[in-house]
Structure 1
Amino acid sequence: MPIAYGDESFREHRQHGFYVLASVIFEAEVADDAREVLLGLRGKHRKLHWYEMEPYEQHRIIKHLADLDGLHVVVTGAPVPLQKQERARAKCLTQLVHELHGFGVDLLVLEARSAELNRRDVSTAAAARRSFLPKEAQFRVDHCPGPLEPMLWAADVVAGACRAAYLGHSEFHDMLADRVYDIEIDTGCRP
């Protein structure tokens, strides 16, 4: 079974907020190559992070991700008014669990946050599994510190590219278009 790795990007705003939860999936025979590519692109950074990169670095990394045989499943939810980020994340994660299961994934590794927020993710995924997946389905969420897993960097880059596209700057998303499966949802979050 393939493993998905996920990270987020979001914008809280009274009328135009949104939440992007991006995942990357590489088959086992490609995953090690992908890690090596990402480690080679890291440069002086502790990890690759979309907002710490210059545009030329973003372009170079997106180009490499587009060349790797992977699938990037991305859920974008709106609206996300002020102080509704975690509710929007839960809605996006619920949808992502359903989508990933459809691609044969039973493990999603997310970048670690605080212990309490990690527990929320695990609880949300468990509730999604019980509510939306077949009774015998297995699906779980684990967490890993960002600097330790290059696949999380790939998810961060995909999330950054999708966030930029949502804001009207689609150059990077367009480079990944053949690899990205986009899902848009209504979060139900209102001001």
Structure 2
Amino acid sequence: MFVHAYVDESYDLTIGVYILTASIVDYSDAEDIRCMLRELRRGGGKLHWSKEPTNRRDEIVKTVSTLSLTTVSVIGSSAALRPERSRRKCMEVLLPELESAGVDAVHFEARQERNNKQDKELIATCRMKRILSNRIQIDFVPGGTEPLLWLPDITCGILLATERGDDSYFEQLGHAARQLKIAAN
């Protein structure tokens, strides 16, 4: 079994929450899941939770809930949330969790090059501190080119809705969703 994790983020400065989610996919199931996600997409580009209307979100959650996958989400909270600091704190927790779960490769949704560089520096630091081994491969992929990156985007959107007080989507999700809450200050 070759296991990959696809990672995306979401945050809300007004409530002081940063969420970093990994959707863990057995690589033998990857192509079937990609096809299903492409069918969910309307128009060009990627499927993006925050741009979907409520009726589409219901359809998306219903479809995603049928998948046998696991998600690990690190939810960082801080009264004075600083997104990049919160991301680093969440990554320091998420990456060792993924490695201990047997993940072979981690694919982060690519951001601006300077942000990717900061992430790569953090990864190198984690390896140097032996928080993370060299066994696990990590790369950065544009979200529009890899439909499996839409899975953590969906889960982040669902968890952010829950943090805002609407747990209706989370109740529908149904698959194993592990949440780790941390202080992100």
How would you bin the TM-score normalised by the shorter chain?
over 0.9
Structure 1: runs of 5+ lacking an equivalent: none
Residue equivalent to 2:38:
39
List per-residue Cα deviations over 1:86-145 (Å, max 9, x = no partner). 0000000111101101111132111111111001111212322333537x5523431111
Q: Find the counterpart in structure 2 of residue 87 from structure 1.
A: 85
Question: Which residues of 2 match residues 112-123 of structure 1 at below 5 A?
Answer: 112-123=110-121
AA of the residue aligned to 1:126: A
Where has structure 1 moved over 4 Å in runs of 4 or more? Answer: none
Q: 1:161 maps to which residue?
A: 158
Identity across the alignment (%): 31
TM-superposition CA deviations, 1:48-84 (whole Å, max 9, x none): 00111011111111111110111111110011625x1
Q: Mark the runs of 5 or more structure 2 residues left unpaired by the alignment.
A: none
Alignment TM-score, normalising by the size of structure 2: 0.92
Q: How many aligned residue pairs are there?
A: 184
Instruction: Name the CA shift for 1:80/1:123 in 2 (closer, same or farther; >3 Å).
Output: farther
- Cα shift at 1:23: 1.0
1:177 is displaced (CA, Å) by: 4.3
Question: Which secondary structure does the structure 1 equivalent of 2:144 belong to?
Answer: helix
- Give the 5 Å matches for 1:35-184: 35-79=34-78, 81=80, 84-133=82-131, 137-184=134-181
CA distance in 2, matches of 1:11, 1:108: 24
Match of 1:28 in 2: 27
- Map of 1:2 onto structure 2: 3
Greater mean alpha carbon deviation, residues 150-159 or residues 167-176: 167-176
Q: Which amino acid aligns with 1:74?
A: S
TM-score (normalised: structure 1)? 0.89
Distance 1:163 1:132 in 2: 31
- Which residue number corresponds to residue 186 of structure 1? 183
SS at match of 1:21: strand
How far apart are the structure 2 equivalents of 1:2 and 1:54?
A: 32
Cα separation, 1, equivalents of 2:116 and 2:79: 20
